[in-house]
């Protein structure tokens, strides 16, 4: 049975994005991830308490409030402790990363792979450019010395813009979904329909927020906010311009950001380990072992640790004329 109707496939092709409502079963598909991350938060709190960075583990609070309090008290966001990818710079031998079995199982979710197969074919690679986002409310955000919010609004960008040029023609599909409801006030995503029809647009440095597309290159008046409920899923073309809105709610905005591409096309970040999630031609090449996946990331971390040259993942250096 097809996951997409003809109208949905046409919308994705024409508009560069598609929201699928109630795609996941929240209890069966998302709750195991939440449970796994609750354990990550407990261990983080205990480690920070032992190190003297916080005075309380805040065990009386729910997940959202507990994480916010821990960040406030320690003065850090701790995003990397939850992420299942390595950072784009300053990778060390002890850089935190979480590669638990619940996350791996979601990456291999059968119905999700059925959906991706309809878009790119049956040889599917789980691209290593993948993230969990736990964005604090802006009213309680952690700021740097200059007063800038750490891990706040995501600048306008294309996902092709965070890959190396070798992957410009890779048929990469972005899959974004919230673990909890993501209404407008919590900082849902916004997209510019049909922006994928352009090539890769110049990106410029945006300080601590990373790289983004300058406003003068965007048709921001056409932007559409995409509030989503728990269980919904967003598909995006690799060149669709998108950003996030500010989190004006009183709890964290929690989401997954995954990417898939045909197996024999460049991932755009070859130093990081992806894996064959599905292969109709060579099923023995599929990875089914969560421990092997986790170990591949630990091996990559060991190889990259302290090597600044090997950690060069961006094509942009801020010297483009448009960045002036």
Average pLDDT over residues 140-152: 86
pLDDT score, position 81: 97
Contact by Cβ (8 Å): 17, 236: yes
pLDDT score, position 208: 66
Report the predicted TM-score, pTM, of the whole model to 2 decimal places.
0.95
Question: How do residues 252-307 score in pLDDT, each as one tens digit?
Answer: 999 999 999 999 999 999 999 999 999 999 999 999 999 999 999 999 999 999 88
Question: How do residues 215-227 score in pLDDT, each as one tens digit?
Answer: 999 999 999 999 9
- Pick the range with the lowest mean pLDDT from 15-29, 138-152, 230-244: 138-152
pLDDT at 250 > cutoff 70? yes
| DSSP-assigned letters across all residues of 174-199 | EEEEESS-B-GGGT-EEE-TTGGGS-
User: What is the C-alpha separation between 15 and 190, in angstroms, rounded?
Assistant: 13
**Strand positions, DSSP E, the chain:** 17-20, 123-126, 131-135, 173-178, 189-191, 204-205, 211-212, 224-226, 233-237, 242-244, 253-262, 275-279
pLDDT score, position 206: 80
Average pLDDT over residues 138-166: 90
Q: What is the DSSP letter of 29?
A: I
pLDDT score, position 225: 98
- Pick the range with the lowest mean pLDDT from 66-70, 121-125, 313-317: 313-317
pLDDT score, position 313: 77
Query: Per-domain residue ranges for the chain?
Result: 6-26+80-323
- Helix or strand or coil: residue 301? helix
Q: Which two tokens stand for residue 98?
A: 């979480």
Burial class (CB in 10 A: 0-12, 13-18, 19+), 103: buried
pLDDT score, position 96: 97
Average pLDDT over residues 40-50: 98
- Helix or strand or coil: residue 291? helix
pLDDT score, position 191: 98
pLDDT score, position 68: 97
| Domain over 6-26+80-323 is classified CATH 3.40.50.150 | no
- Which band of pLDDT confidence, cut at 50, 70 and 90, is reported for residue 88? confident
User: What is the C-alpha separation between 124 and 215, in angstroms, rounded?
Assistant: 34
pLDDT score, position 307: 82
Nearest to 251 by CA among 75, 81, 69: 69
Nearest to 189 by CA among 231, 236, 148, 142: 236
pLDDT score, position 209: 64
């Amino acid at each position: 049975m097809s996951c997409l109707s003809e109208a949905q496939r046409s919308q994705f092709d024409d508009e560069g994005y598609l929201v699928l409502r109630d795609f996941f079963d929240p209890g069966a598909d998302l709750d195991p991830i939440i449970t796994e991350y609750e354990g990550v938060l407990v261990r983080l709190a205990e480690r920070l308490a032992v190190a003297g960075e916080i005075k309380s583990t805040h065990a009386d609070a729910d997940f959202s409030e507990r994480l916010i309090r821990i960040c406030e008290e320690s003065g850090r966001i701790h995003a990397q402790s939850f992420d299942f990818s390595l950072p784009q710079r300053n990778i060390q031998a002890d850089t935190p990363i979480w590669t638990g079995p619940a996350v791996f199982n979601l990456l291999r979710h059968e119905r999700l792979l059925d959906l991706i197969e309809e878009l790119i074919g049956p040889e599917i690679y789980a691209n290593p450019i993948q993230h969990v986002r736990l964005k604090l409310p802006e009213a309680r955000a952690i700021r740097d010395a200059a007063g800038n919010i750490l891990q706040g609004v995501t600048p306008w960008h294309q996902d092709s813009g965070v890959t190396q040029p070798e992957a410009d023609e890779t048929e990469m599909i972005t899959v974004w979904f919230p673990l909890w409801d993501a209404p407008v006030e919590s900082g849902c995503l916004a997209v510019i329909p049909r922006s994928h029809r352009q090539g890769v647009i110049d990106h410029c440095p945006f300080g601590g927020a990373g790289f983004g597309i300058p406003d003068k290159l965007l048709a921001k008046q056409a932007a559409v906010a995409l509030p989503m409920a728990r269980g919904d899923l967003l598909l995006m073309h690799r060149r669709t311009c998108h950003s996030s809105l500010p989190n004006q709610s009183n709890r964290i905005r929690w989401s997954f950001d995954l990417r898939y591409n045909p197996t024999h096309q460049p991932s755009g970040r070859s130093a990081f380990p992806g894996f064959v999630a599905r292969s109709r031609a060579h099923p023995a090449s599929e990875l089914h072992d969560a421990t092997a996946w986790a170990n591949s990331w630990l091996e990559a971390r060991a190889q990259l640790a302290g090597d600044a040259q090997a950690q060069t993942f961006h094509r942009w250096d801020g010297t483009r004329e448009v960045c002036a």
